[in-house]
């Protein structure tokens, strides 16, 4: 069964989708653009400012499920200009300090509301250890 995840600490969806969906131990987070959660507007500033806002929005969605960036196993970064790649990497690495997740980065022609960056993530909650028992007799 899937669980729809929503938090007021991240921007509300601007279309027919959920901020995130949880299925078992996996959390699938929709792409976040640099929207201010309160105003719903794109934050002003350069690519570093926009990337920080995106990652802060993602942190809020993760927190809603008791998770952190340590739980993220895969990210996809969408950039409108690959020349921003290095700057985005610098900001990104400050959020993923150890054991960074798998990642794809692609350039796209445009993003919603004129954003320069969008990031989506998949996170995995820690699974409780299970002990196997031989019940064959």
Q: Please check whether residue 46 is in contact with residue 53, taking contact to mean a CB–CB distance below 8 angstroms.
A: no
Question: What CATH class is the domain 2-124?
Answer: alpha beta
Q: How far apart are the C-alpha atoms of 75 and 102, rounded to whole Å?
A: 6
Per-residue pLDDT of the chain (137 residues; tens, 9 = 90+): 999 999 999 999 989 999 999 999 999 999 999 999 999 999 999 999 999 999 999 999 999 999 999 999 999 999 999 999 999 999 999 999 999 999 999 999 999 999 999 999 999 998 755 545 555 65
pLDDT of residue 132: 52
How many beta carbons lie within 10 A of that of residue 21, not counting itself? Answer: 15
User: What is the pTM for the complete model shown?
Assistant: 0.91
How does strand 102-107 pair with strand 2-5?
A: unpaired
- The domain segmentation of the chain, as residue ranges, is 2-124
């Amino acid at each position: 069964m899937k669980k729809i995840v929503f938090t007021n600490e991240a921007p509300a969806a601007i279309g027919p989708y959920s901020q995130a969906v949880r299925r078992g131990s996996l959390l699938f987070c929709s792409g976040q653009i640099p929207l201010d959660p309160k105003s719903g507007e794109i934050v002003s500033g350069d690519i570093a400012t926009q990337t920080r806002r995106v990652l802060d929005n993602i942190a809020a969605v993760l927190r809603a499920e008791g998770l952190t960036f340590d739980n993220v196993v895969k990210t996809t970064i969408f950039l409108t200009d690959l020349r921003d790649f290095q700057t985005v990497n610098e900001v990104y690495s400050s959020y993923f300090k150890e054991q960074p997740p798998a990642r794809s980065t692609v350039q796209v022609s445009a993003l919603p509301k004129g954003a320069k960056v969008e990031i989506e993530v998949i996170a995995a909650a820690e699974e409780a250890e299970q002990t196997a028992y031989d019940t064959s007799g």
